[in-house]
Structure 1
């Protein structure tokens, strides 16, 4: 029963993380490019105020859920779960040290003006976003493999030991 609960938490949290970042990469990033810069900066700032606590919690749960799954697993499933935990942690670190500082700059631009090199800075933000989204998606894929039994080389049972 504990293993199923841990597996469910890991699956849900990594799925939410990958989905939220994926939605941002596919929809929000393209919408940002379609509006004037002042609108983008204002919306980006408002979005980050809401996203900050939500995404940090989601990343924390993804790391914790995957790490717990590694603890209750054996063999290849343990390695896959540990890999998912490392990737979820990577998405947090990329966010914290890549995207968040740029978010602070964008917040300032919303009330002043963008510097001449703003396009390069925004491109760097998007690069960090692609990296964290990729890490989150691969973490989710690893947990899906475990949840479906595909990551278990023993075959039929699909149980995690």
Structure 2
């Protein structure tokens, strides 16, 4: 029962993470690119204030629950959960080392002005965003696969 609850937590946290990153990649980034630069910079800076808390919490919950699940299981389940946990960690590292420094620059640009090479820097931010989205979605798919391969619990079997 403890493993199934942990698996549920890992699925929830990783699904929220993948969904948030996926929504951002599919909807926010194209919107960022469709509006004037000053509007994008202002909105991006404000959005990152909220994302700093919620996304780091989701990444931590996804990573820790998946790695704990890996530690408590064996065989294929351990491999899938461990890989999902490492992918969650990869999402965190990509965010922390790639997106966050650029977010700091965007915050400065929102109150001053963007440099001449801003398009290249924003392109790199989008590249990091796509990579962390891919790692989060892949982690979620692995945990779904794990959940679908698990035999039903005693009380869940159909007669």
Please confirm whether the aligned pair reaches a TM-score higher than 0.5, indicating the same fold: yes
- Residues matched between the structures, number: 153
Partner of 2:2: 2
Mapped partners of 1:88, 1:82: distance in 2: 10
Deviations 1:10-54 (A, max 9, x none): 000010000000000000000001110000000000000001000
Partner of 1:69: 69
Question: What TM-score do you get using the length of structure 1 for normalisation?
Answer: 0.93
Mapped partners of 1:139, 1:158: distance in 2: 22
* Stretches of 4+ aligned residues off by more than 3 angstroms: none
Partner of 1:24: 24
Mapped partners of 2:19, 2:10: distance in 1: 14
Q: Which runs of 5+ in 1 are unaligned?
A: none
Question: What TM-score do you get using the length of structure 2 for normalisation?
Answer: 0.94
Q: Trace 1:12-91 onto structure 2 (pairs within 5 A).
A: 12-91=12-91
Partner of 1:127: 127
Deviation of 1:132 after TM superposition, in Å, equals: 0.3
Mapped partners of 1:114, 1:144: distance in 2: 42
**Structure ranking higher in helix proportion:** 2
Deviation of 1:6 after TM superposition, in Å, equals: 0.3
Partner of 2:96: 96
Task: Tell me which moved more, 65-74 or 107-116.
Answer: 65-74
Mapped partners of 1:86, 1:158: distance in 2: 26
Q: Which runs of 5+ in 2 are unaligned?
A: 154-159
Deviation of 1:68 after TM superposition, in Å, equals: 1.2
Deviations 1:42-77 (A, max 9, x none): 000000000100000000000011011101211011
